[in-house]
Structure 1
Amino acid sequence: MALSERKPAVPAERLVAEMVPPPRFSGVSFGSYLPDPTQPSQQQAVGVLEEFAAGLNAAEAPKRGWFRKAKPPQGPAGVYLDGGYGVGKTHLLASLWHAAPGPKAFGTFVELTNLVGALGFQQAVRTLSGHKLLCIDEFELDDPGDTVLVSTLLSRLVEAGVKLAATSNTLPEKLGEGRFAAADFMREIQGLSANFRTVRIDGQDYRHRGLPAAPAPYTDEQVTERAGRAPGASLDDFAALLDHLSAVHPSRYGALLDDVHAVFLRGVRPVEDQSTALRLVVLADRMYDRELPITASGIPFDQVFSEEMLKGGYRKKYLRAVSRLVALARDSAK
């Protein structure tokens, strides 16, 4: 099959139903998180989130007496995970989701804005207000309009008693040696700042601890031949796939990968413009979520984005995409 020939349609109901951790994190827990022993903040973050989950579960415990009114969960309305890419923030966020009582929802910032766009603001508020926990991965600060929209949504949800947990994704001028600027995130969510407890997570990208650089690409012929032998394989020319992504809304990139078990790409080349690069970032995230190994010819994935792009306003996104694409390319060689 060719991804560049697919035109998926995603109804709003599916967007709501799929607000769960992606397949890569469907079975994670606090116990399966492997903190770096040289970074104490990672183990400390586990403790904070376990305590947060315990508070949510305590609120669900049955109360004695016929007329005793249940008390709302104590503590902050939200927890914000502040750290660089590859330190396991998504793993911890998904672990919190699994440990918490339902109803609950999990999604990236982009998926949340897509949900609001599909349902409308008021219906999104009504849909999520009955939840006990909303987890937002990769909260982005590079689109002021979307950020204010979600900030307003979160304010309404906190008023309804929904607990929040988030990880962040900021512009490079707000980074400090690879770490996020929590204060800027707090300002963006305006009046919610006092309700969030910030949890700092330091460390290096776990995907590349002690591992070599990106694997050498295959030839076009090798990619085609391997795709022909792999069940559930997609096979595309890289340029054609990038062109096709411009005609598919990013909210549908997950559906684009339905029933795909391995991705094969011919002719990977440098991405020339920012819009195309950002679409590739979203696709890389969805492929990584689904643990799809990538077999590719052309250039290695650590050369896809130019030095100029890696120093620009979306540096953090590009570095995360490179990290994930390289990891998936390694998976194909196993």
Structure 2
Amino acid sequence: MLHQDLSLECEGTAAGGQGVGRAAPDGAHPDGPVAALARRRTALGLAPDPAQDAAAAALQRLHAALSVYRHPTGRGLHRLLRRGPVARAPRGLYLYGPVGRGKTMLMDLFFAGAPLARKRRAHFSAFMAEVHERLHRLRRTGDGGAAVPRLAKALTEEAWLLCLDELQVDNIGDAMLLHRLFEAILAAGTVVVATSNAAPGELYAGGLQRDRFLPFIALIEARLEVVRLDGGRDYRRARLAPAQVYHWPLGPETEAALARAFALVTGGAPPQAEALPVSGRTRRGPR
């Protein structure tokens, strides 16, 4: 099999399943990220943030476009009978800005309510680790020169919406691969949403052979709406402001202080045990 899931969240059917355009999964927000953000603020007692509102509005426009989008691989019999042209995929979105402004929260709210049958959300570094592993296996079992197109086809069949958190490029291996891979994914009709601390033009700054990376920057700027999120407030730091930094000696009081800090960072969400696949092994964390 081409696919081995590494730290990815997936929803929908496998390739060959039913087409896009079904009702949103249970727990989704059919009215989109703007309403979901309002509910989150009410639940957590957060103040209005115009910068977040602007970013949520951009995601809301994409949500609306996705609600009527039919992915080419999901057209079923209509596609086989050539009934009507294949609609051009909506532009994705690249959300960037300083840490702690709410980029990940906004993308997660958007992802939860995205009205597509097949969607994936991943941390960018985990996604690229998976990409390199799958390319390695493809090159061992077939034509190495066709590995990237084959992987792009598989990724497109698995996800019609791909959400990537914390996109950054700090090694030449990723830099040389990204344009070919994402050009094929986008051309096949998958919509990409990404968050990053850096503007597209700042990615891989000072990296080796950066001139060969520039087509990826141009691709982002052409195929994704670029939105800056900088409301001037670091919510991560604000949440932890009441927390003490150093704790000594270790003991029940220290454990209690760390539990309070954990609650501040997570907004009071209950801890959950989770098993994480890392380099072929499973690491289990109590919370």
Band the TM-score falls in, shorter-chain normalisation: 0.5 to 0.7
Aligned pair count reads: 212
* Pairs within 5 Å for 1:84-163: 84-100=98-114, 101-120=116-135, 121-122=147-148, 123-130=150-157, 131-163=159-191
Mapped contact 2:119–2:162 kept (Cα < 8 A): yes
Separation (CA, whole Å) in 2 of partners of 1:87 and 1:133: 23
Q: Which residue of 1 aligns with 2:234?
A: 205
1:313-324 to 2 correspondences below 5 Å:
none
CA distance in 2, matches of 1:117, 1:136: 16
Give the aligned residue type for 1:79: L
TM-score scaled by structure 2? Answer: 0.60
Counting aligned pairs with the same residue, the percent is 26
Secondary structure in 1 matching 2:109? helix
Do 2:28 and 2:113's aligned partners in 1 also have CA atoms closer than 8 Å? no
After TM superposition, give the deviation of residue 190 of structure 1 in Å. Answer: 4.0
Superposed CA offset, 1:148-193 (max 9, x none):
32232111101111111111134xxxxxxxxxx3333494614413
Aligned twin of 2:209: none
Residue 254 and residue 89 in structure 1: after superposition, are their counterparts in 2 closer, same or farther (change >3 A)? farther
| Alignment map for 1:298-309 (pairs within 5 Å) | none
- Flag the 1:209–1:226 CA change in 2: closer, same or farther, 3 A: closer
- Structure 2 CA distance for partners of 1:251 and 1:138, relative to 1, 3 Å: farther
Q: 1:226 to 1:196 in 2, by over 3 A?
A: closer
- How far has the Cα of 1:74 moved from its partner? 5.1
SS in 1 for 2:61: helix
Is the Cα contact below 8 Å between 2:162 and 2:193 reproduced in 1? yes
Distance 1:99 1:141 in 2: 28
Partner residue, 1:14: 5
Structure 1 residue ranges without an equivalent (≥5):
1-10, 22-26, 171-180, 231-249, 262-334
Between 1 and 2, higher relative CO (CA 8 Å, sep ≥ 6) is seen in 2
1:55 match: 65
* Aligned counterpart for 1:195 among listed residues 223, 227, 250: 223
Aligned partners of 1:115 and 1:124 also within 8 Å: no
Name the Cα RMSD after superposition: 3.9
User: Normalising by structure 1, what TM-score?
Assistant: 0.53
Judging changes above 3 Å, is the alpha-carbon distance between structure 1 residues 94 and 216 closer, same or farther for their aligned structure 2 residues? Answer: closer
Return the letter of the residue paired with 1:115: E
